[in-house]
Structure 1
Amino acid sequence: MADTLQVEVAYAEPKRQKIIRIIANEGITAEQAASRSGIVRFFPGLDLTDAEYGIFSQPCEPDTVLRDGDRVEIYRPLIADPKEMRRQRANR
């Protein structure tokens, strides 16, 4: 039997967030953990195949193999470039 590990999958929208803990076999990837967590049940518009991922705020590839205790974060696309927003505020 393969060794298991415990990881969390997190996703947030402006007004709500969800963190789901799962137990998985060693060798699971960030994208596989997100899929297995069932987080799309809570966020039906979430597309895991096109999502950006991170582990504890560090960007990672969807095929990154996880370690015990990792928190996979699913990132939403930015609606505005932060640098451009700062530039516009400074001009005002």
Structure 2
Amino acid sequence: MDKPEIAIEVVYALADKQKLLRLTVPAGTSVRDAALRSGMAAFFPGLDLASAPLGIFGKAVAKPDERILEEGERVEIYRPLIADPKEVRKQRAAKAAKTKADDAEAN
């Protein structure tokens, strides 16, 4: 007897192009397997689905190779970060502190 199937969505977006694919996968499919089965890489050359960070409905999945999907879930393929958000905030705070110190000296 065939394994039951579930309906899911897989999405990926760039600033100027987005793609949502609806597909049916065997029950027991992992998040990573669903991303690989989606064929999303055909629409986005250079997309590495084997190592891309993945999530479900806006929440990152720590172990996408182990997390099993449920009916109706949306797998999201995330782009790699260009800059570390913590580092950017730290730099912004340092710049603001310097500006404040410079303004205090000028007065």
Structure with bigger RCO (C-alpha 8 Å, 6+ apart): 1
Q: Percent identity?
A: 50
Name the structure where helix makes up a greater proportion of residues: 2
Give the TM-score normalised by the residue count of structure 2. Answer: 0.78
In the alignment, structure 1 residue 73 sits paired with structure 2 residue 76: yes
What is aligned with 1:53?
54
Partner Cα distance (1:31, 1:6) in 2? 15
Partner Cα distance (1:75, 1:21) in 2? 17
Amino acid at match of 1:83: K
Partner Cα distance (1:35, 1:49) in 2? 7
RMSD, aligned α-carbons? 1.3
* The structure with more radius of gyration: 2
What is aligned with 1:27?
28
How many pairs were matched up?
92
In the alignment, structure 1 residue 4 sits paired with structure 2 residue 1: no
Name the structure where strand makes up a greater proportion of residues: 1
Q: 1:62 aligns with which of 58, 61, 64?
A: 64
Give the TM-score normalised by the residue count of structure 1. Answer: 0.89
